[in-house]
């Protein structure tokens, strides 16, 4: 097996890369928020307030996923040319959903709705990680 080493500069870049917070762009958040708003009812708030809350929760999920997934995988959502196989994406989706369910709690949602929320986000993310797909 070949020996691979990293320079001090490469290690510093690796540190910086790992200390980021989130990867989703606003348009990606809004697209997911639109889908979630149709499927999950938040407790009574005006429509614009509900939408803001959904976006905040998506950003919270994004930050958690940024911690769970190495960026080399998470960044695949923005590349059509690179990607993983659908079977690999399915394994990651299942694991990510469990990870989010255990690490995040959204007390304004029922457990069922919280699981649905996480499912929608992880489905969209992992589908976009497949080669030839992109998260829009």
pLDDT at position 18, please?
A: 65
Residue with tokens 């320079």: 7
* 136 residues of the chain, pLDDT tens digit each: 567 777 888 777 766 666 667 889 999 999 999 999 999 988 888 988 999 999 999 999 999 998 888 888 999 999 989 999 999 999 999 999 888 988 899 999 999 999 999 999 999 999 999 999 999 8
Residue 60 tokens, joined: 């919270």
Nearest to 22 by CA among 72, 54, 60: 60
pLDDT at position 47, please?
A: 86
pLDDT at position 110, please?
A: 92
Residue 101 tokens, joined: 């369910």
Give residue limits of the domains in the chain: 22-129
pLDDT at position 1, please?
A: 57
Report residue 7 CA to chain centroid gap: 30
pLDDT at position 71, please?
A: 86
C-alpha span between 112 and 39 (Å, rounded): 12
């Amino acid at each position: 097996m070949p020996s691979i080493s990293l320079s001090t500069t490469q290690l510093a870049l690796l540190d910086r890369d790992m200390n980021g917070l989130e990867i989703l762009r606003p348009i990606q958040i809004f697209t997911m928020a639109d889908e979630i708003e149709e499927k999950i009812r938040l407790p009574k708030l005006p429509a614009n307030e509900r939408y803001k809350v959904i976006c905040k929760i998506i950003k919270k999920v994004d930050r958690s996923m940024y911690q769970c997934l190495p960026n080399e995988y998470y960044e695949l959502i923005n590349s059509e040319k690179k990607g993983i196989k659908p079977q690999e994406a399915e394994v990651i989706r299942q694991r990510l959903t469990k990870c989010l369910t255990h690490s995040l709690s959204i007390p304004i949602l029922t457990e069922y709705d919280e699981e649905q929320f996480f499912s929608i986000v992880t489905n969209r993310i992992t589908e976009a990680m497949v080669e030839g797909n992109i998260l829009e």
